[in-house]
Amino acid sequence: MNKLTVKDIDVTGKRVLVRVDFNVPVGKDGSISDDTRIRASLPTIEYLIKKRCRIVLCSHFDRPDGKVVESMRLAPVAKRLSELLGVHVEALKDCIGPEVEAAVSKLRDGEIALLENVRFHPGEESNKPEFALALSRLADVYVNDAFGASHRSHASVVGVAQYLPAVSGFLMEKEIDSLGGALENPERPFAVVVGGAKVSGKLGVLDNVIDKVNLLLIGGGMVATFLKSRGYGTGSSLVENDKLDYVRRLAEKASLSGVKLLLPVDLVVAEKLEAGSDVKVVPAAGVPENLVIADIGPETIEQYSRELKACKTVVWNGPMGVFEVPEFARGTRGIAEIISNLKAKTIIGGGSTAEAVNEMGLDKKMYHVSTGGGASLEFLEGKVLPGVAALRDK
């Protein structure tokens, strides 16, 4: 990574504003159901504690649209973070203003305050300079450790970096090095597995990787568009007819580049994409008229497994089927298990793919599971993330 990290500057005893991504899932009772993103922030926070910094954490949570929403306060996150760190984290009632500044001024070396949800203020998402300046008054140094929010040009992500020395945290560094290293200098053979509902949602990824990979494996609902482009029936599956020429060109480009592009050989189909539906496995070239593609089939799992076992770098973004429904989860589970057991650098590209891997308890067996959904997608598309661009270069 060509950006300065928190280790590259002297932060000892300073006030440090750390942008974290604590936008975590919560249950109906308000309790945190997955603290992965909180745990991912610990190395940076623990480093700053050792450096006797006065630590001010800031994050967004959900979409309050610039208004205070009681159910979107960050106090439960502060409580969970306190438990993980073994030290008290003070949850403040706001993120800017005289009362917040007074509370931060009382912090002692190594103490931590968590600002209230920055999206309670409209100036956050509109990146108002006044809001960014108010945040910057709380610190001497800015550390961005929120990779998952760094595709947004928001005040706490980009704006603050205009007023304070801005560097990367350890999670940000790991995300960029892992994803960037795979795309720029992979150990080969290099495979990318792409799934998801629509081709249109993964155009950028497909365009960016097609001349970088040795193997491209396709799954998910987007399979229907690929199959129709080759003249196969797709039943009642969603087909993006305006993308048929695109996938034909992609296949042609893969062939000319010596890239092996594989589609499923069999599929799980059903009348509806709902729990309790009757399912059947059919050849990919024989989807019945009244049925919809819901998952890749067992022969495809076996074929993809054989291909992946030879690879040294694997990036996976997008589920293989409607994995939220148990009847259609076998493909995603199968690919997750295969990838987790590879002797390779395995990188999971965030979002629903990371959710599936975490739910299965396979995250620890992967080289890296990205904490960014939209951010990891844009990074894999080759885009420059505004939150990364705002940091100081080495």
How confident is the model at residue 27, as a pLDDT?
84
Domain ranges of the chain: 6-171, 178-380
How confident is the model at residue 270, as a pLDDT?
97
Active site residue 37: yes
How confident is the model at residue 31, as a pLDDT?
87
How confident is the model at residue 28, as a pLDDT?
80
- Given 37, 54, 228, 243, which residue is catalytic? 37
Active site residue 330: no
CATH number for the segment(s) 178-380: 3.40.50.1260
How confident is the model at residue 136, as a pLDDT?
98
Cα distances (angstroms) measured from residue 335 to each of 110, 341, 342, 353: 43, 10, 11, 11
Active site residue 180: no
How confident is the model at residue 30, as a pLDDT?
80
Question: Do 6-171 and 178-380 have matching folds?
Answer: yes
- pLDDT, tens only, 269-284: 999 999 999 999 999 9
Q: What is the DSSP string of 81-96?
A: HHHHHTS-EEE-S-SS
- pLDDT, tens only, 335-355: 999 999 999 999 999 789 999
Rg over alpha carbons for the chain, rounded to the nearest Å, is 23
How confident is the model at residue 186, as a pLDDT?
97
Chunk the chain into consecutive blocks of 10 residues (it has 394) and report each block's average pLDDT, rounded to whole numbers: 95 98 89 93 98 98 97 96 98 98 98 98 98 98 98 98 98 96 96 95 95 97 97 96 97 96 98 94 95 98 98 97 95 98 94 92 96 94 96 96
- Given 110, 181, 201, 374, which residue is catalytic? 374
What topology is assigned to 6-171 in CATH? Answer: Rossmann fold (3.40.50)
Report yes or no on whether pTM surpasses 0.85: yes
Two tokens, residue 20? 């974290």
- Given 52, 128, 198, 392, which residue is catalytic? 198
Write the Ramachandran bin of 66: left for phi over 0, alpha for psi from -120 to 50, otherwise beta: left
- Given 351, 372, 373, 387, which residue is catalytic? 351
Q: What is the DSSP string of 267-310?
A: EEEESSSSTT--EEEEETT-B-TT-EEEEE-HHHHHHHHHHHTT
How confident is the model at residue 114, as a pLDDT?
98
Q: How wide is the angle at C-alpha 375 spanned by C-alphas 293 and 363, nearest 5°?
A: 70
Give residue for tokens 């990367």: 168
**Any idea of the CA torsion for 46, 52, 56, 62, to the nearest 10 degrees?**
0
* Chain-centre distance for alpha carbon 95: 25
